[in-house]
Amino acid sequence: MIQTLLGGLSARDFLAQYWQKKPLLVRGAIPDFQGVFDRASLLDLACDEDVESRMVWHQNDAWQLARGPFRPSDFKRRRDAWSVLVSGANLMSEPADALLRRFSFIPQARLDDLMVSYATPGGGVGPHFDSYDVFLLQGAGVRRWQIGKQRDLSLIEGAPLRILRDFRPSHEWDLQPGDMLYLPPRYAHNGIALSDCMTYSIGFRAPATQELAEGFLSFLQEELELKGRYADPDLKLARHPAALPEDMIDQVSEMLARIRWGRADVARFLGRYLSEPKAHVFFDPPERPLTEKAFVTACTRRGFALDLKTQLLFRGKQLYLNGEVEDPPSSLLKRLQKLADLRCLAGSDLDPEICSYLFVWYNAGFGMPSKGGKDF
């Protein structure tokens, strides 16, 4: 299946030859792909206040951008070609999540989200480049992709979205449903809808150094525990009362040099940082929660599944669950790691001990007994 997705390449060969290196066009990456959303269900999502959405159109020779949530009337009677983009569609729909998970040959720590766009004929978001790798999978309709590896990535100043000032495509393809184009970061591209068109963007994350450093500093601030206090039993007479004492600078330098970190701290930070849900994501604890006994029965019969919004990563004995660190009992570790990889566990994997552990997650809205089937 992966080989079809990657045009006959194994995941290993794709990573070695294309990932972060050069584009790959795959015809029929998902044969008979019907898409996950139809127009109406995608536009419904764009009207949902819990969903991040944008509308883009080109009017009076200028690019225009509006941010959701929208009203259904916003999509009616529009003269110009337009496009609506819904980010994090995988958080709202199981089939959308399943589509994203087809790309599990890349670590979840690198995965960002599934963005889905709908465009009327002629619509698109203009020539641009992204800072991240992306797989552009064509759903319904046809989209013309133009791409180019250009050095000049300067943008039109003052535009409400990032549009290349001088786009010079070198290749052009019309993508039919199920075709897919992989683009490495900073590759110029422009997608123009040739008919009513839906595109599924499987996007990855690659944080900037500055962003990571800022995140790490606030992590240190939260977790740091340093002892001691400034002291100066040998204080010298102040000849200039306003002068900053040199001894003070020396002592504070020593105090600050006690801020140390190692690989384990970096791992803990990364686990928390990468599993932190985005700012607009909220969990819904069950309205009428099962008792623990009923929860155990439901899980051992049907299995347990993570909520679509839950982010669960692990390293060794540590789990990173929605921005927090957990140190589970070692008897549960293997199964919890399996849960993180597969996002669900079969009933046969569950016993009262692990169910009691997962009961806390259930009450926080992080997961629930699987919906159907006895086992999977």
Out of 36, 134, 339, 368, the residue judged to bind ligand SIN by CB under 6 A: 134
Give the total of residues touching ligand SIN (CB under 6 A): 10
Single out the segment in contact with ligand SIN by CB under 6 A; choices: 19-27, 60-68, 123-131, 157-165: 123-131
Cβ 83 to ligand SIN shortest distance, Å: 6
Tell me, residue by residue from 109 to 128, as one string, x for binding to Co ion by CB under 5 A and - for no binding: --------------------
Query: Is the preceding peptide bond at 233 cis, omega within 30 degrees of 0?
Result: no
Q: Are 74 and 176 in contact (CB under 8 A)?
A: no
Is 337 among the residues that bind ligand SIN (CB under 6 A)?
Answer: no
Of 187 and 359, the one with the shorter C-beta distance to Co ion is: 187
Is 53 among the residues that bind ligand SIN (CB under 6 A)?
Answer: no
Of 136 and 336, the one with the shorter C-beta distance to ligand SIN is: 136
Is 127 among the residues that bind ligand SIN (CB under 6 A)?
Answer: no
Out of 68, 191, 303, 369, the residue judged to bind ligand SIN by CB under 6 A: 191
Is 138 among the residues that bind ligand SIN (CB under 6 A)?
Answer: no
Is 90 among the residues that bind ligand SIN (CB under 6 A)?
Answer: no
Of 125 and 306, the one with the shorter C-beta distance to ligand SIN is: 125
Please, which residues have CB within 8 angstroms of residue 187's CB and are 6 or more apart in sequence?
23, 129, 130, 147, 148, 149
Is 44 among the residues that bind Co ion (CB under 5 A)?
Answer: no
Is 130 among the residues that bind Co ion (CB under 5 A)?
Answer: yes
Q: Which residues bind ligand SIN (CB under 6 A)?
A: 83, 117, 124-125, 130, 134, 189, 191, 199, 201
Q: Which residues bind Co ion (CB under 5 A)?
A: 130
